[in-house]
A = this chain, B = another copy of it.
Amino acid sequence: MPTKNNKNSFSLKDLADKIGGTVDGDGSLVINSAAPIDIASSGDITFIANEKYLKHLASTNASAVILDDKIEASNLSIIRHKNPYLAFALVLDILYPELPDVATGIAPSAILEDATAIDSSARVGALCHIRSGAKIGKETRLVSSVFIGKNVEIGDNCILYPGVRIMDGCTLGNNVSIHSSTVIGSDGFGYAESDTGLKKIKQIGNVIIEDHVEIGANCTIDRGALGPTQIGIGTKIDNLVQIAHNVQIGRHSIIVAQVGISGSTKIGNGVILAGQVGVAGHIEIGDGVMAGGQAGVTKSVKAGTKVFGTPARELMKSKRIEAILSRLPDMYKRLKKLEEEK
């Protein structure tokens, strides 16, 4: 969706009013699109997400920028907002209000089994397969080739992108978005040893996804062995994330791409797991914990702690070790010198 094709336009004043900001400059400017600061042109509104981009502020061709009260930009009209990033998110929703396009009703090529309960306002795209007993709520959109298993319950205003598979018995709340080819409710990985090899432990639990959760593409969230695997309200999960059986994730947590969380682990509220983090099974990660990229979290972590490395250590401890690691060859030489001199 090239930003320049946008047909919506607003005055800067209009935009500011709608998002609770104030104009500093020419409120009559017409804004019809948004662009990154370094490539923006006339008609664009832009913002600064990372201080590395401050250098572009003087030279940008954008018509306007969203800033907090501290940053000056005399060459541009400004929307002032205490949270510029949030303000920009709100502006994007105003300029680009479209949802993924799916025709109303149920596509002729979709396969519906008996006894489904699909709200009349839901939209089911081409080549979807909805099994018996499934319920789909108001205004929910299945874009294409979505699989909905038996007795699955999906709430209102959900968006399921092409190739999403929701396996039997799982439930999604309202306003849940799931990106392409993600699998919800695959079997957990459990086997008992026996004389003839590994005996599968039948996985009879399900997955419960609460309201306002977003899950990226090609993720796997396994059903619980006996009870549920559960993702709490507002939690956001990036691509290629693995969530094993019986995991419980709290509210408003952020799970970045390629993270893996092992079975039965509990993740608190407001937790941030950076990319490629691995978390061991049967442990508890407290509220507000932050784990740095590729950390290997092998033990429970108390609320509010920042951890890094494998095995994961508390931030300051990890930094101290890291700093000295660089001096290790030097330390070795100095140790040798001391031995020789003694």
CA distance A90 to B258 in the complex (A): 34
CA distance A183 to B215 in the complex (A): 14
**Is B169 within 8 A of A2, CB to CB?**
yes
Would you mind naming 10 contact pairs between A and B with Cβ atoms under 8 Å apart? A34-B226, A92-B202, A100-B168, A101-B168, A163-B163, A163-B165, A218-B240, A260-B276, A317-B326, A324-B329
- A306 shortest CB reach to chain B, Å: 15
CA distance A50 to B219 in the complex (A): 27
**Is B294 within 8 A of A278, CB to CB?**
yes
- Where the two chains meet, the residues of A that have a C-beta atom closer than 8 Å to any C-beta of B are 1-3, 34-36, 39, 50, 52, 83, 85-86, 88-90, 92-93, 96, 100-101, 107, 109, 111, 125-127, 129, 131, 144-145, 147, 150-151, 161-163, 165, 167-169, 177, 179-181, 183, 186-187, 189, 191-194, 197-202, 204-206, 212, 214, 216-220, 222, 225-227, 233-234, 236, 238-240, 242, 244, 246, 251-252, 254, 256-258, 260, 262, 264, 275-276, 278, 280, 282, 293-294, 296, 298, 309-311, 313, 317, 320-322, 324-329, 331-332, 334-335, 338-339, 341-342
A327: B residues at CB distance < 8 A: 332
Q: Which of A145, A150, A161, A256 has the most CB of B within 10 A?
A: A145
**Known A126-B129, A163-B181; further 5 A-B contacts with Cβ < 8 A:** A3-B204, A35-B227, A144-B147, A180-B183, A186-B239
Q: Out of B3, B162, B226, B313, which one reaches A129, CB within 8 Å?
A: B162
Known: A204-B34, A220-B240. A321 touches B329 (CB 8 A): yes
A111: B residues at CB distance < 8 A: 107, 109, 126-127
Q: Out of B83, B165, B244, B329, which one reaches A192, CB within 8 Å?
A: B83
